[in-house]
Structure 1
Amino acid sequence: MNILITPSRLHGTVRIPASKSMAHRLLICAALAEGTSVISGVDMSRDITATMDVLSAFGASFRQEGSTITVTGVGNARPQAAVADCCESGSTLRFLIPVAAALGIHTTFFGQGRLPQRPITAYLRELTKKGVTFDYHNTMPFTIDGKLRSGVFELEGDVSSQYVTGLLFALPLLDGDSEIRMLSKLESKPYVDLTIACLRHFGIAVQETEQGYAVAGGQQYHACDLTVEGDYSQAAFFCVANALGSDITLTNLNPESVQGDKKIVEIVREMCYNREQGLPAGFTVDAADIPDLVPILAVLATFGTAPSSITGAHRLAIKESDRLASTADLLNRLGGKVTATPDGLEIEPVEQLHGGTVDSCGDHRIAMCAAVAATRCAGEVTILHGECVEKSYPRFYEDYRQLGGIANVIVLES
């Protein structure tokens, strides 16, 4: 599906969808709890559906009524074997490999898109030391077997915080105590903080140590009822649209949230203040803790008054696309001046983009960035494969139109 966007400023009120990061975590905790939990305010997407489908294969059950999901935990109903289709969700895959191992379920993992190429190296190294076997040949499907044992798990901090989160879900289920030992500084730590906050709601205790995290074994997840808060990573698109001249009121956001992507509010506010004061409106951002913001920050920087630099983003090469290359390509095709580096992006500001045709590369964040950039283009913008927003924000174009945006599905002649 291709989307043609006619430039226009956006105005009105938008309800920000529920945090996908939080929804993943709460649904997993609920599935591991004894009894029934009710998780409210869930906005369904392909990634969330993938997590629910895999948890169902592990023995949990889900009943959905609108945005409310009633979850009955796996209990003793877990199967001996399961097929886990993670679709394109890296979170689903990396969160649930250790869970399957902790539950002792012989599991075959499937994936689509770029997911089969995304690494699971840390698990191959650490879980095999603790009783888990992998039938893995650098792609998917692959199979794991065996029962995970407690102990010390060593992880590099600059690979993916998803490994830490996956272990934090699994280790409380083991008989003995465990330790996650970080061999280097943990990047994307706010995501781990969010995991620990969710675990706490379900009665699971995690102790942060100088070297990483200590997790007592023999803990039990307790069912509870919770509401998912709004997603700052999705709010970022509309925050930047406002900085580019739109007038949007954002609702369903928790100002006290521990989501790391809340940083977007501070970055936008500072850049707008500098512009108003006649100061250089550019920025240097270390994105190690906020990698999902990198593409939309590049859009913001394109309309600054001084060069900007984004660093600490080398891990984006293995997202749904090579997100550094695809972000630079997106903006350059529209008339921007962006250079991808091994660690991030260098952005020279321009007064206006001219429009054109861009390839989303099947990456939801690239597609949404293109729609925001289009609000400041001189000509129309065509987004190829624009349907990829279904992965995280299925109603994005609907919300965009309700705010006055002009976005139409088109068929391109071959």
Structure 2
Amino acid sequence: MDVSIRPSVLRGKLSVPASKSCAHRSIICAALADGVSHLSGVTMSKDIEATIGAMTALGAKFTVDGGDITVIGSGSRKAEKCVIDCNESGSTLRFIIPIAAALGSDTEFRGRGRLPQRPIDIFIRELGKNGVAFDYQNTMPFNVSGGLKSGIFEIEGDVSSQFITGLLFALPLLEGDSEIVLTSHLESRPYVDITIDTLRRFGVSAEETDRGFRIKGGQSYAPHDERIEGDYSQAAFFCVANALGSQVELGNLNENSVQGDKKILEIIRDMCYNGSIGHYRADCSDIPDLVPILAVLGAFGSGDSVIYNAKRLRIKESDRLQTTAAMLNALGGNVEITDDGLIIHPTGAMHGGTVDSFGDHRIVMAAAIAATRIDGEVVITGAEAAEKSYPAFFDDYNMLGGKANVIILE
């Protein structure tokens, strides 16, 4: 699907979609509980559907009614042999591998897009030391078998916090105590904070230590009812739109949220003053998902902006440093790629053009926000990628006065 966008000012009220990060975690915890949980306010997307499908394969039962989900958890009962399709969701893949192993399931994992190329070496090494066998040929599908045993798991903290979250879900289910030892600085710490906070609400604890985390075995997840809070990573697109001149009132956001992407509010506050947009220097080690929309903000600033500590973005849905630069450069920007980030040089000459989404939902949405301030038509190819995390993005965009239209090919 290709979309044509004309410049506009977005105005109105928007209830921000539920946090995908929070929804993944609550769905998993509810599925591992022995009883019934009710989750409300969930925004369905391909990634969330993948996690529901994964936990269904492992024995939980789900009833989905719009944004309301009733979960009949399977507890820690041994799972049968199953097939799990992660679609393009890295969160689903890395969260579920250790859970399936802890439940003793012989599992085939499938995926598409760039997911088969995203690394799982850490799990192959560390789970392999603790009873798990991988039949893995550097792609998908692959098989995981054997039962995960408690022990010490040495995990790099600067590759992906998803490996740590997956273990935090799985290790409480084992008989013995375990420890996660971080062998390098923990990046994306807020995502681990979300995990620990969610575990707590579902009756499971993890103790932080000087080296990482200590997890007691023999714990049980308890059923829990909750509403999923709004997603600051999705709100960030409209926060930047406001900084560029739009007037969108955002609702469904938790001011006390532990979501790291809430940092967007601070960056904009420090960068924008007296009606002008300055520049920033942003350490994105904890907020990698903000990079595309931060780059858009920097492109309209009054001086060079710098994004650093973002090397891990090269293994996202796209090489997100490369594709973010390509997006803005196609629209008249000047973005320089560094070893671990971007330097955005404002040109004052942004113009229409064609942007390749590279199948990346965040590139699509960032380009659409840039289009609100660009003279001329912006065409986004492969715009259906937004459905991965925010299926209603263009509906909401147009509801707020945006001018996005699907191009019909004759």
TM-score over 0.5 (shorter chain): yes
1:151 aligns with 2:174: no
Code of the aligned partner of 1:64: V
Code of the aligned partner of 1:255: E
Three-state SS of the structure 2 residue aligned to 1:289 is coil
Code of the aligned partner of 1:4: S
The answer on whether the counterparts of 2:79 and 2:103 sit within 8 Å (CA) in structure 1 is no
Give the structure 1 partner of residue 233 of structure 2.
233
Post-superposition Cα deviations, 1:170-213, rounded to whole Å, max 9, x if no partner, equal 00000000000000110000000000000000110111111100
CA displacement at 1:76 relative to structure 2: 6.6
Three-state SS of the structure 2 residue aligned to 1:355 is strand
Give the structure 1 partner of residue 329 of structure 2.
332
List alignment gaps of at least 5 residues for structure 2.
none
User: Normalization by structure 2: what TM-score?
Assistant: 0.98
Give the structure 2 partner of residue 311 of structure 1.
308
CA displacement at 1:9 relative to structure 2: 1.1
CA displacement at 1:352 relative to structure 2: 4.1
The answer on whether the counterparts of 1:304 and 1:350 sit within 8 Å (CA) in structure 2 is no
Give the structure 2 partner of residue 296 of structure 1.
293
Task: Find the partner of 1:384 among 369, 381, 386.
Answer: 381
Three-state SS of the structure 1 residue aligned to 2:250 is strand
**In the TM superposition, what are the counterparts of 1:54-93 in structure 2 within 5 Å?**
54-75=54-75, 78-93=78-93
**In the TM superposition, what are the counterparts of 1:276-287 in structure 2 within 5 Å?**
276=275, 281-287=278-284
1:243 aligns with 2:240: no
The answer on whether the counterparts of 2:356 and 2:381 sit within 8 Å (CA) in structure 1 is yes
Code of the aligned partner of 2:178: S
Code of the aligned partner of 1:281: G
**In the TM superposition, what are the counterparts of 1:332-411 in structure 2 within 5 Å?**
332-411=329-408
Give the structure 2 partner of residue 167 of structure 1.
167
The whole-number CA distance in structure 2 between the counterparts of 1:297 and 1:209 is: 33
Three-state SS of the structure 2 residue aligned to 1:125 is helix
The whole-number CA distance in structure 2 between the counterparts of 1:287 and 1:244 is: 21
CA displacement at 1:350 relative to structure 2: 2.6
Which consecutive segments of 4 or more residues in structure 1 shift more than 4 A?
none
The answer on whether the counterparts of 2:285 and 2:310 sit within 8 Å (CA) in structure 1 is yes
Code of the aligned partner of 2:162: Q
The answer on whether the counterparts of 1:324 and 1:344 sit within 8 Å (CA) in structure 2 is yes
Three-state SS of the structure 2 residue aligned to 1:248 is strand
List alignment gaps of at least 5 residues for structure 1.
none
The answer on whether the counterparts of 1:9 and 1:404 sit within 8 Å (CA) in structure 2 is yes
Three-state SS of the structure 2 residue aligned to 1:130 is coil
The whole-number CA distance in structure 2 between the counterparts of 1:330 and 1:75 is: 45
Structure 2 vs 1, CA of residues 337 and 58 (structure 1 numbering), >3 Å: closer, same or farther? same
Structure 2 vs 1, CA of residues 263 and 31 (structure 1 numbering), >3 Å: closer, same or farther? same
**In the TM superposition, what are the counterparts of 1:18-57 in structure 2 within 5 Å?**
18-57=18-57
Three-state SS of the structure 2 residue aligned to 1:335 is coil
The whole-number CA distance in structure 1 between the counterparts of 2:78 and 2:177 is: 23
Code of the aligned partner of 2:111: G
Three-state SS of the structure 2 residue aligned to 1:51 is helix
Code of the aligned partner of 1:26: S
1:217 aligns with 2:214: no
Three-state SS of the structure 2 residue aligned to 1:92 is helix
Three-state SS of the structure 2 residue aligned to 1:153 is strand
The whole-number CA distance in structure 2 between the counterparts of 1:142 and 1:412 is: 38
Structure 2 vs 1, CA of residues 222 and 295 (structure 1 numbering), >3 Å: closer, same or farther? same
Give the structure 1 partner of residue 182 of structure 2.
182
Code of the aligned partner of 1:398: D
Three-state SS of the structure 1 residue aligned to 2:84 is strand
Larger deviation: 82-91 or 6-15? 6-15
The whole-number CA distance in structure 2 between the counterparts of 1:16 and 1:351 is: 31
Give the structure 1 partner of residue 113 of structure 2.
113
Structure 2 vs 1, CA of residues 361 and 70 (structure 1 numbering), >3 Å: closer, same or farther? same
Post-superposition Cα deviations, 1:91-129, rounded to whole Å, max 9, x if no partner, equal 000000000000000000000100000000100110000
The answer on whether the counterparts of 1:14 and 1:250 sit within 8 Å (CA) in structure 2 is yes
The answer on whether the counterparts of 2:101 and 2:148 sit within 8 Å (CA) in structure 1 is yes
The answer on whether the counterparts of 1:367 and 1:383 sit within 8 Å (CA) in structure 2 is yes
CA displacement at 1:411 relative to structure 2: 3.5
The answer on whether the counterparts of 1:352 and 1:378 sit within 8 Å (CA) in structure 2 is no
Post-superposition Cα deviations, 1:275-328, rounded to whole Å, max 9, x if no partner, equal 54x7x8111111000000000000000011111100010010111111000000
Larger deviation: 392-401 or 6-15? 6-15
The whole-number CA distance in structure 1 between the counterparts of 2:349 and 2:228 is: 38
The answer on whether the counterparts of 1:330 and 1:358 sit within 8 Å (CA) in structure 2 is yes
CA displacement at 1:270 relative to structure 2: 1.1
CA displacement at 1:77 relative to structure 2: 6.0
The whole-number CA distance in structure 2 between the counterparts of 1:196 and 1:147 is: 24
